[in-house]
Amino acid sequence: MQSFRDEIENPIVQKEIIDLEKKIYSFRNGQIDDERFRSLRLARGIYGQRQEGVQMIRIKLPYGKVTSEQLNRITEVSDKYSTGRLHITTRQDIQIHYVSLDRTPELWADLAKDNITLREACGNTVRNITGSELAGVDVDEPFDVTPYAHGLFEYLLRNPICQEMGRKFKISFSSSDKDTALSYLHDLGFIPKIVNGEKGFKIMFAGGLGSQPSHAELLSEFVPVNQIIPTAEGIIRVFDRHGERAKRLKARMKFLIKDLGRDEFLRLVEEEKKALPFHSYEIDTTAFEGPITEPLLAVPSATIDDAAAFEVWKKSNVIPQKQAGYVAIGVKVLLGDFYTDKARLLADLIKNYGANELRFSLRQNIVIRNIKEENLPFFYQELAKLEMVSLGYDTIGDITACPGTDTCNLGIASSTGIADELERVIKAEFPQYSNNTEIEIKISGCMNACGQHNMSAIGFQGMSINSGKLVAPALQVLLGGGRLGNGAGRFSDKVIKIPSRRGPDALRLILNDYEANGNGQSFLNYYDAKGEKYFYEFLKPLADVTNLTDADFVDWGNADNYVKAVGVGECAGVVIDLVATLLFEAKDKLIVAQESFADGKWSDSIYQAYAGFVNGAKALLLSENEKTNTHSGIIDLFDTVFVATNKIQLDSTFTELVYQINKNEPSEAFAKEYIEQGIAFFDKIETYRAKDLADA
């Protein structure tokens, strides 16, 4: 397989792909524990499926942007290694399924030819940075946030501070106060502002969905653009050091803020400032400031046969841009799934006749940007050939759904099947709602909220329900969530649980009642006026399980009776308990630290040495059966168990030794000294461990 390695131009990417190949070989030969290997592959975008022996691959696309060349590359990879289906996620990634683990290094190498990565698409890392799909063309934006989202993505990719955190970390950039990138449910959410002529961001922090949604807090009303990278780095460093690592359900930053308190958390962030490599970081925006790319070919004239249908489509799916004479086209993608045959033609269309860019949206759609208004008839004609002119872009009938039981280990009930049926019901029975953009419907197959069900006006969560000795697929109905703008939002109330087959009836009852009793109010005001109990009462008959039929035991999109089968979730890494593995990793961190030092990356080398200290200490603590659930806890506990008892003799406390990291600037001299101290510490613990095993 040397040939595919040699074709990679970037030596850093080449090295990490070869490393993945070696890790797979070691795993296959029993040299890496299954649990540890899971965390390694997750950080490289390789995620176990519900189906045995195959992988889901998540392709990381910052703020959803792709060029024609990149989309063509993704289609080639999908055809070669997968099934030809492309799934757009709610984080603007592309997922492909049914991939052999052994072929993933070659797959990654193919993607890298067009500067596409899998790196940190899953696992306990900074996930894909999302952004408003209209950023750069939004009529309401104070400035284009795209270069800042891109700059932060580039800064954090492969950064040692966020490779093995206690849990995932999510960042978003909205284009305006409308907050379409949903800052209020992110670990860090950025909303653009201009204050006294200076560009900056309002920053929200510590939000999240999952089984326990939490509204983000305000970090600052205004942070200048040259401060967003130092601000983000300080927060991520504190999360990495103090975040929970043993109790996965309590490991997101929102729980750390609750445990420490806002003031203490921000004090720790302030304490990190000296260690930061940059106290101000100017993001280069020039690559995003040029004129709109002209089409490669002259756009042919087009004759519209059905002028009325064309006008309806324009009203539904065409979006004005801030650039005069240009528009964006919203393509509604059912369930976020489209296929390589159409994708390839779409890639050629935007390259030859557009501006060679499209963006995948948070609602699992496609946005074709920078189209000259005069060329809309041609694009309508060509998109119609691809069956990409379905009406209702970003409306109530444009339902968001995760893959659910189709491929996900954690899926409890079908989300795609019920979404498909609800879209059919809306189109057939509620045409009066065809242009309603206020009511969003979102569906998740389990409590983890990948489909964002608990922040929508109408949400459904996959569950199961007992009826005697039988188990039927079920849906939790949620109501009253939504985006309010400028960093504010609301989460949905859990109203009632019903058998899945009755989901369409629940939607009918809700929409019919809204029409009869809404009195012209917005849906959220109508919900607030009526109250949760009102909806529970009129939906209650649907919850009766004494009258289930055979059909109720067959989930949407399935032909066989429902079987509740939940696997092991892989939304993040797991706790590794092997002492030898941790010692190996500690040594590896120190080797990587030396390599970074040789490359002149002082800050990176210091953080890698820090990770070596912590991994080594954790290994010895685990050998003593001591609990180790945070980095800061490991550091404190090592002093108690080993240093204070003179089992390990140091020239200072372990705390003083390790925390030099935030007492010194990241200079060459300190990096050299810190790495040398890390190597000396590792020699001591390795000697102690060898003696301990010999005496056992």
CA distance 696 to 579: 15
DSSP strand pairing (326-331 vs 366-372): antiparallel
CA distance 526 to 547: 31
The pLDDT, as a whole number, for residue 563 is 60
Q: Please check whether residue 350 is in contact with residue 296, taking contact to mean a CB–CB distance below 8 angstroms.
A: no
Residue 280: is its pLDDT beyond 70? Answer: yes
Residue 576: is its pLDDT beyond 70? Answer: no
Confidence of residue 574 (pLDDT cuts 50, 70, 90): very low
The pLDDT, as a whole number, for residue 53 is 81
* Lookup: tokens for 182: 């949903």
Confidence of residue 160 (pLDDT cuts 50, 70, 90): very high
Residue 34: is its pLDDT beyond 80? Answer: no
Q: What is the pTM of this model?
A: 0.92
Residue 334: is its pLDDT beyond 50? Answer: yes
Exposure string of 490-528, with b = 16+ CB inside 10 Å and e = fewer, is bbbbebbbbbbbbbbebbebbbebbeeebeeeebbebbe
* Lookup: tokens for 635: 């550091």
Read off the pLDDT of each residue in 97-107 and give the average, rounded to a whole number. 95
Residue 12: is its pLDDT beyond 80? Answer: yes
CA distance 163 to 169: 11
For 46-75, write each residue's pLDDT tens digit: 988 878 889 999 999 999 999 999 999 999
Residue 571: is its pLDDT beyond 60? Answer: no
* Longest CA span, the chain: 87
Closest C-alpha among 405, 492, 490 to residue 442: 492
CA distance 492 to 455: 5
The DSSP string of 517-542 is H-TT--HHHHHHHH-HHHHHHHHGGG
Location of structure tokens 């940075």: 129
For 440-480, write each residue's pLDDT tens digit: 999 998 888 888 999 999 999 998 888 877 888 899 999 99
Residue 565: is its pLDDT beyond 50? Answer: no
CA distance 68 to 194: 33
Residue 150: is its pLDDT beyond 60? Answer: yes
Q: Please check whether residue 430 is in contact with residue 512, taking contact to mean a CB–CB distance below 8 angstroms.
A: no
% pLDDT > 90, the chain: 78
User: Which class for 679: exposed (0-12), middle (13-18), buried (19 or more C-beta within 10 A)?
Assistant: middle
The lowest-confidence range among 366-375, 457-466, 556-565 is: 556-565
Read off the pLDDT of each residue in 591-596 and give the average, rounded to a whole number. 96
Rg (CA), the chain: 26
Confidence of residue 575 (pLDDT cuts 50, 70, 90): very low
Query: How many Cβ atoms from other residues are within 10 Å of residue 324's Cβ?
Result: 7
The lowest-confidence range among 327-336, 400-409, 482-491, 597-606 is: 400-409
Query: How many Cβ atoms from other residues are within 10 Å of residue 348's Cβ?
Result: 14
- H or E stretch at 367: strand 366-372
CA distance 175 to 134: 7
The pLDDT, as a whole number, for residue 411 is 67
The pLDDT, as a whole number, for residue 446 is 85
Residue 274: is its pLDDT beyond 80? Answer: yes
DSSP strand pairing (171-173 vs 318-320): unpaired
CA distance 233 to 244: 18
Most confident of 209-218, 486-495, 547-556: 486-495
For 507-527, write each residue's pLDDT tens digit: 999 999 999 999 999 999 999
Query: How many Cβ atoms from other residues are within 10 Å of residue 485's Cβ?
Result: 16
Residue 403: is its pLDDT beyond 90? Answer: no
Phi and psi at 45, nearest 5°, equal: 75, 15
- List, in order, residues 6 or more apart from 447 with CB less than 8 Å away: 210, 211, 461
Closest C-alpha among 9, 10, 25 to residue 105: 25
Query: How many Cβ atoms from other residues are within 10 Å of residue 100's Cβ?
Result: 13
What mean pLDDT value characterizes the chain?
92
Residue type, 407: T
Task: Give the 3-state secondary structure of residue 424.
Answer: helix
Residue 573: is its pLDDT beyond 60? Answer: no
